[in-house]
Amino acid sequence: MMKYLYFALYLFGIALTSTTSTTLNAYLEERERLITEEKRERIGSNLVLTEKELQVNGIFMDERKKTIKSAIFNNTIFPPALNFFKTKHLIDESLIFQMISKMPKGGALHTHSTSLVSTDWLVQNITYRPNCYMCRTFDDKYRFRFFEVAPFNPECPWESIAALRRESVNVAEFDKSLYDKFSVVINDPEIQHVTVNDVWDDFKEAFTMIDGLIQHTPVFIDYIEQAMEEFLQDNVQYLEIRADLPMLYNLDGSKYSRSYCMAIYQRQLRKFKLRHPGFSGFKIIVAGDRYLPRSAIWADLQLAETLNHYYPELMAGYDLVFQEGRGNPHLFYINELLAVNNLSYFFHSGETNWQGTSIDNNLVDAILLNTTRIGHGFAISKHPAILQATKERGIAIEVNPISNQVLHLVHDLRNHPAAMLISQNYPVVISSDDPAVWDATPLSHDFYETFMALCGQNDDIRVLKQLALNSLKYSVMSPEDKERAIALWHQHWAVFLDEVLAMTSSI
């Protein structure tokens, strides 16, 4: 009897093992199916890499895995998890950043005219020019200006920078003090910039000081030239610039109309492209100040329409800029915005952590006003209908990782909402917003942060390649110019692959 019982238990064990094995296999197959399905949804997943791209990809992936493994098991710093001000030096030393610096990144579609050129250049070039003055107000704010003869100004007495530099004990320290004024870089951002408003206050103050320098006509001309040089050196071939179009001034105090800026932009671009056929150009998005009254924005819109008529190849459209939380929402200007017929919009929208406010509801108005792209869109994951509309209509979201971190929207970039956009192949472009004032490269630092933090550990150079191509795809270049720009980008990409293999051949 016992031997029959043992035999029965033996048969049951075999059946149980077989059933368990079948169940486990089915589970693992379903698990792999889901993972594969998710991979297919990610940006760049449909790209097929060549043999050379696979070699370069292996180098990128090995380096990234080393960085992540060291952070997990050795408790080393993972740069995107901390404020950019604290980790820039670590990023600059990394092989991944050095490779990304060489990579053709296509276009920077979200930049601002007041922060295109490095603050080093402003200090070493502009403040060393004759007739450059600065003053200090009683509430400890600084202003800069060029004068033939500095006027009497008791509230902020003008002093020659050249004289102050000569009188300084240490010229290098004096120049550093100027650099610090034009930059928002600080040693301890979590303490010195407690709230979003704190950093925005410093942000706007830096722009006010820089404006006094670059609005001087000869400086503005050189500034545009230098901007193109710096972006091209960072392997960016195309720009779309939010520009406020100031009234440029001369030494004698006389001023030009705002449209004169466009004439300078056009002239400098033509000259630059003759010397640099690898540069695809730029376009201007007129930037209105959302703090202004309706009448001023209406005047802005009329100016933009006029410029669109006279500079059709240079003009892209119109946007409302500056801090959404303190400024007026799109709805405040809705009558003016609806009254315009022949102007494309590129709205800053949802640059906030708040939900259900006039700030993130700017996303709703941006879609209803048929925006061409959305600037930042940080809150868009909280608006599923708007998110779906961006995919259905091909409205690209301009993601600016470092800007969002510096302006205290996200601390650890692994938690950036654009990680979800990348994982589901939403129309995304990577840009840099105001790189100069936080001492970032024109675009490479933002691509580094994107690759290391916003992408998954298994995302490879396909996503970098697709994001670069997206920047040209979602630009407002003409179809013919876009085709030429993409062909040029592919040429640069081939050179990039060879450069990475050459620089890593001894590793």
SS3 per residue for 454-465: HCCCCCCHHHHH
3-class secondary-structure state, position 382: helix
The closest alpha carbon to 246, from 152, 400, 112, belongs to 112
Question: The dihedral of CA 293, 379, 476, 264: what is its sign?
Answer: positive
Token reading at 214: 């670059």
Question: Is residue 330 a contact partner of residue 359, using CB atoms and an 8 Å limit?
Answer: no
In Å, how far from its chain's centre is CA 506? 33
Question: SS3 of 285, please?
Answer: strand
Tokens in use for 341? Answer: 């017929």
Please name the residue that has the structure tokens 């979590």: 190
Q: Which residue, 185, 235, 232, is CA-closest to 206?
A: 185
Could you tell me the end-to-end alpha-carbon distance of the chain, in angstroms, rounded to an integer? 71
Q: Point out the residues that are catalytic.
A: 351, 376
In angstroms, the CA 147 to CA 158 distance is 10
The DSSP H or E segment spanning 346 is strand 346-349
Burial zone of 30 (CB within 10 Å; 0-12 exposed, 13-18 middle, 19+ buried): exposed
CA dihedral 481, 484, 487, 493 (to 10 degrees): -70
